[in-house]
């Protein structure tokens, strides 16, 4: 006859209690060993349409006026120099061959060379002014973006290039159209930006107000 192996009910209760206690003790350790995956908080982002921004900045308009005045001044001086050269050439043309004519021709050649050098120098001066314009505007935009981000708690202010169209051009020295398209696509950083994150208007107002309140010596 087999012995009775029935476990008493009080033993089952004790075993259950031990299992529950063990689970409670091991739970904190399991939580500690489990890798923590915390969702990153949302990042406040603003985007700026640079073309619209540049068109409406007061500083850009001031630079354009300055550069146009320089262009007009240089163009007027160039026309004056050309008129002088044409006058000298007409005066020399009827002269007979001889020492006097050669001296005048030498003088004309020298003036032409000086005019060419002057023109190159003025082109470089205009190029420098245009470069200074964009450097100054970029600094203003960068400072404006930092100030706007600080005031309105943006963590990122991006250039919105999502509206740029791919425009390959076929010409003699241009690379293949496929290369142009792939290159232009590679330069795009924003594929879509909702109007709700567009801060262009805010940037325009902020930068123009800052320039208006700055001392004239700093402009």
Per-residue model confidence as pLDDT tens digits over 45-73: 999 999 999 999 999 999 999 999 999 99
Better pLDDT: 5 or 96? 96
Average pLDDT over residues 126-131: 97
Quote the pLDDT of residue 69.
97
Report d(CA 157, CA 49) in Å as an integer: 11
Residue 76 CB contacts under 8 Å (≥ 6 apart), including other chains: none
Quote the pLDDT of residue 41.
83
CB 154 within 8 A of CB 48: no
pLDDT bucket at 216, cuts 50 / 70 / 90: confident
Residue 140's nearest CA partner among 72, 85, 63, 196 is: 63
Secondary element (H or E) of residue 48: strand 45-48
Show the tokens assigned to 84.
Answer: 């002088």
Quote the pLDDT of residue 10.
46
Show the tokens assigned to 10.
Answer: 């009080």
Full-model pTM: 0.73
CA torsion angle 175 176 179 182 (round to 10) = 120
CA atoms lying within 13 Å on the CB side of residue 121: 8
Quote the pLDDT of residue 30.
52
């Amino acid at each position: 006859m087999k012995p009775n192996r029935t476990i008493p009910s009080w033993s089952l209760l004790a075993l259950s209690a031990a299992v529950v206690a063990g689970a409670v003790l091991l739970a904190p350790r399991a939580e500690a060993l489990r890798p923590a995956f915390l969702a990153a908080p949302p990042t406040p982002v603003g985007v700026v349409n640079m073309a619209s921004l540049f068109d409406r900045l007061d500083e850009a308009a001031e630079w354009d006026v300055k550069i146009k005045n320089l262009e007009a001044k240089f163009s007027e001086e160039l026309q004056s120099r050309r008129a002088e050269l044409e006058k000298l050439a007409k005066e020399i043309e009827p002269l007979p061959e001889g020492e006097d004519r050669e001296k005048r021709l030498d003088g004309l050649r020298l003036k032409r060379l000086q005019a060419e050098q002057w023109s190159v120098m003025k082109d470089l001066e205009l190029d420098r002014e245009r470069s200074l314009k964009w450097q100054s505007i970029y600094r203003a935009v960068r400072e404006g973006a930092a100030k706007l981000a600080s005031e309105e708690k943006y963590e990122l202010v991006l250039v919105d290039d999502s509206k740029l169209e791919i425009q390959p051009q076929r010409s003699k020295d241009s690379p293949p159209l496929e290369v142009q398209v792939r290159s232009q696509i590679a330069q795009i950083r924003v594929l879509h930006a909702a109007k709700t994150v567009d801060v262009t208007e805010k940037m325009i107002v902020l930068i123009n107000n800052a320039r208006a309140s700055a001392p004239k010596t700093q402009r």
